[in-house]
């Protein structure tokens, strides 16, 4: 799952590629939104700086209101539930429909997680093991931390499910750190997980405001995302005349 960036653009008729390219230039002036960290799957890495060299529309990200026309929308495509698009004027996008659809999909994932881990003791979070390594790297190497985290019955159950020949991987697809991220998000409970997924459908991973302000989580944790999502959703509701477009930017 690639990170989704929401760009808020003025309600003008400027050529879209030029408007997006102009907006993205602001990202290079912002400091990184996430600190370096240890991950359970690979060595410690430096955080990627916001910005990059390529972008692509996130087709089908939003559902349009019935009053919207194809001319109003960005990357419009016809679906059985209405017109889907990568963006458009905020007041013409059915944000509640996007949130409801994401909530329904998240509920299915959480119920699967609950069934897979039902007979296992609660797993400790990955941060517990990284803290032990940080406190004494020589006596508790990072490889030990990775093995100890992966050896927990609940984490083994998630991995075993993904590796079954009759299933499609689910939990290993969580980003940024697969099973560590899956546990961090799902262990908070059904209601919180579904709420966060619904909010993510609205605000993505980062939002670049029309004035160049970057809204983003300060850390890659669920609680940091909650704070970002509240600020970003409030911004979208208060600026309904702007155009918003969802892009992958890397």
What's the pLDDT score for residue 37? 44
Q: Please name the residue ranges forming H helices in the chain.
A: 16-24, 95-116, 126-135, 142-150, 153-163, 179-186, 190-203, 222-238
In sequence order, which residues have a C-beta less than 8 Å from that of residue 221 and are 6 or more positions away? 184
Backbone angles phi, psi at 32, to 5 degrees: -60, 150
Q: Report d(CA 164, CA 20) in Å as an integer.
A: 42
Give the pTM: 0.79
Is residue 175 classed as helix, strand or coil in its secondary structure?
A: coil
pLDDT at position 13 is 56
DSSP 44: -
Contact 162, 174 (CB under 8 A): no
Query: Quick one: pLDDT at residue 177?
Result: 78
Give the whole-angstrom CA distance, residue 227 versus residue 221.
10
Instruction: Return d(Cα 51, Cα 77) in angstroms, integer.
Output: 28
Cβ pair 247, 5 in contact under 8 A? yes
Q: State residue 73's pLDDT score.
A: 92
CA pair distance 93, 83, nearest whole angstrom? 10
| Segment 146-182, tens digit of pLDDT | 999 999 999 999 999 999 999 889 998 887 678 998 9
Q: What's the number of domains the chain is made of?
A: 1
Residues in the chain where the model's pLDDT stays below 70:
1, 13-14, 26-53, 176, 250
Write out the residue range of the structural domain in which residue 213 sits: 5-249
CA distances for 89 relative to 10, 33, 56, 59, 122, angstroms: 9, 27, 19, 15, 45
Of 27, 24, 10, 58, give the one whose Cα is nearest residue 201: 58
pLDDT for the residue 55: 83
């Amino acid at each position: 799952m690639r990170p989704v960036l929401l760009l808020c653009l003025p309600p003008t008729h400027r050529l879209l590629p030029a408007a997006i390219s102009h907006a993205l230039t602001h990202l290079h002036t912002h400091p990184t939104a996430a600190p370096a960290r240890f991950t359970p799957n690979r060595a410690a890495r430096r955080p990627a700086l916001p910005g990059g060299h390529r972008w692509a529309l996130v087709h089908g990200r939003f559902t349009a209101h019935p009053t919207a026309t194809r001319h109003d929308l960005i990357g419009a495509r016809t679906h059985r539930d209405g017109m889907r698009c990568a963006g458009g004027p905020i007041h013409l996008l059915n944000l509640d429909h996007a949130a409801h659809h994401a909530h329904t999909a998240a509920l299915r994932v959480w119920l699967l997680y609950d069934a897979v881990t039902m007979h296992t003791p609660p797993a400790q979070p990955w941060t517990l093991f990284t803290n032990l390594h940080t406190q004494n790297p020589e006596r508790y190497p990072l490889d030990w931390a990775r093995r100890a985290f992966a050896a927990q019955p609940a984490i083994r159950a998630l991995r075993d499910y993904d590796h079954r020949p009759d299933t499609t991987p689910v939990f290993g697809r969580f980003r940024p750190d697969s099973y560590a991220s899956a546990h961090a998000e799902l262990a908070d409970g059904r209601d919180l997980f579904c709420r966060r997924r619904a909010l993510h459908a609205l605000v993505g991973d980062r939002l670049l405001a029309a004035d160049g302000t970057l809204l983003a989580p300060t850390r890659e944790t669920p609680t940091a995302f909650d704070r970002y999502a509240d600020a970003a959703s409030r911004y979208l509701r208060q600026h309904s005349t702007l155009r918003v477009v969802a892009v992958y930017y890397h």
